[in-house]
Structure 1
Amino acid sequence: MLSGSVPFVYTTERSPEFGLLVPPTLRGREASAYLSYVIEFYDHLPEYSIFVHAFPEQWHNDLFGPYTLNTLRNIRLQAIDAYGYVNLRCQHNPGCPTSVYPLSPSQADIENHDIRAYFANAYQQIFNVTSDKVPGAIGNVCCGQFAVSRDRIRARPKEDYQRILDWAATTELTNDFGVGWVLEKLWHIIFGMDAV
């Protein structure tokens, strides 16, 4: 753990362990926990917030091995200062250069009712925008482990995060897994980065 850091441990288990924080919805895997933290602590955020999965070993961790502790020990705060948002994964595969084409889903996605077929609709609801604001391509480094500066989080009003959490809790476009997958594709955009 980084010196001086304070962990906020959320669970999305149906029967939570005593002492763990529980988001208002269990849909979306870690996304509901991340959004709950941002909403709850929006006015009292530390300079940096680091969002990671709970288990000490993750396949998402790459450059420094599978252990999250090694990834955390190697975070460069200067990178967070420079970009505002930094994905903790270093390899670009999967997800880069593009991984979602919201305006042109495949026929297979449409036939299988995959969330990719409804991604443009999800994007409009999440960001409260019209269809002309949906990007044609989205590319991002995979997965839901990243670091964000306080200023970058606050560049978006608290109400936006509440709307996104409400979407996660109520959307009928996809299931629990799909909610988390959609937000994994959007964290970088939510925190002010370009679509690709």
Structure 2
Amino acid sequence: MEGADVSWVTDELPDWKHAIYTVDPSNETRAHTLTTPVNKGHEAMAYLTYIIDNYNSSMPEVVAFLHSHRNSFFQAWHDDTPLHDNVHAMRHLRLDYMKERGYVNLRCNSNPGCKQTKKGNLHFAGHVWNEVMGNTSAPAFSQQPTSPGAQQAHLTPDDKERSENVTPRIWAACCAQFAVSREQIFRRPVWATTSRLGSG
């Protein structure tokens, strides 16, 4: 947001190139700052806009996506470093591990977050899974299938044909702060990203 104090990014992380997007710019701010097309989708719009803006020209080897606040539990519980400090998280990010993995969440503790349950994911049909996850490293059919009857009841004939590629469960650690490699970003074409900006 325009009123956020983001001076800590340049003051405390001088080794990182930064791109700060303002989602609610005033007319005078809009002329000299990076902005999103609309103020929609919380941090997702800023993250996607950055990827689109830099996809064909200047994508860094490692990209870290952060919120605008630096620390304090009530604002920045999105990492689990001492005092929930984004500066501490970035200074201690193991870049060699991150590059090897391609992606790391800045929060290691899985609580809060989506937890493993015995209930299947009935929201993903085969064609939706393939459209969203088709060119990613997401696993194929889960090794822990749920009730086939319950899952099959929600699938169209086309979905049933592709159901072996649908995972009945998806869960992850909480919070939208993470680092990702350029190679992982490039695993999806930019047109797949731009087509999402106008929807939802």
CA contact (8 A) 1:12 1:33 kept: yes
Aligned to 2:195: 163
In structure 1, list runs of 5 or more residues that go unmatched. Answer: 105-118, 172-196
1-side partners of 2:179 and 2:133: how far apart? 24
Q: TM-score, normalised by structure 2?
A: 0.66
Q: How far apart are 1:147 and its partner, in Å?
A: 0.2
Aligned to 2:94: 76
Do structure 1's residue 46 and structure 2's residue 60 form an aligned pair?
Answer: yes
Aligned to 2:128: 124
2-side partners of 1:34 and 1:53: how far apart? 10
CA contact (8 A) 1:102 1:134 kept: no
Q: What is the CA deviation profile of residues 58-92 of structure 1, one whole-angstrom value per residue up to 9, with x for unaligned ones?
A: 11121332221111111000111111010000111
Q: 1:78 aligns to what SS in structure 2?
A: helix
Runs of 4+ in 1 over 4 A off after TM superposition: 128-131
Aligned to 1:186: none
CA contact (8 A) 1:63 1:90 kept: no
Q: TM-score, normalised by structure 1?
A: 0.67
Q: How far apart are 1:94 and its partner, in Å?
A: 1.9
- By relative contact order (CA 8 Å, sep 6+), the higher-ranking structure is 1
Aligned to 1:32: 45
In structure 2, list runs of 5 or more residues that go unmatched. Answer: 1-11, 135-157
1-side partners of 2:86 and 2:115: how far apart? 25
What is the one-letter code of the residue matched to 1:141?
A: A
Q: 2:184 aligns to what SS in structure 1?
A: helix
Q: What is the CA deviation profile of residues 137-180 of structure 1, one whole-angstrom value per residue up to 9, with x for unaligned ones?
A: 111111100000111111111111112323xxx32xxxxxxxxx
Q: How far apart are 1:124 and its partner, in Å?
A: 2.0
Q: CA RMSD in A?
A: 2.8
**1:62-101 to 2 correspondences below 5 Å:** 62-98=80-116
1-side partners of 2:121 and 2:85: how far apart? 37
2-side partners of 1:23 and 1:94: how far apart? 29
Q: What is the CA deviation profile of residues 28-61 of structure 1, one whole-angstrom value per residue up to 9, with x for unaligned ones?
A: 1000000010011012201100000001111112
What is the one-letter code of the residue matched to 2:37?
A: P
Aligned to 2:183: 151
User: Bigger radius of gyration, 1 or 2?
Assistant: 2
Q: How far apart are 1:16 and its partner, in Å?
A: 7.2
Aligned to 2:9: none
Between Structure 1 and Structure 2, the one with more helix by share is 1
1-side partners of 2:40 and 2:62: how far apart? 25
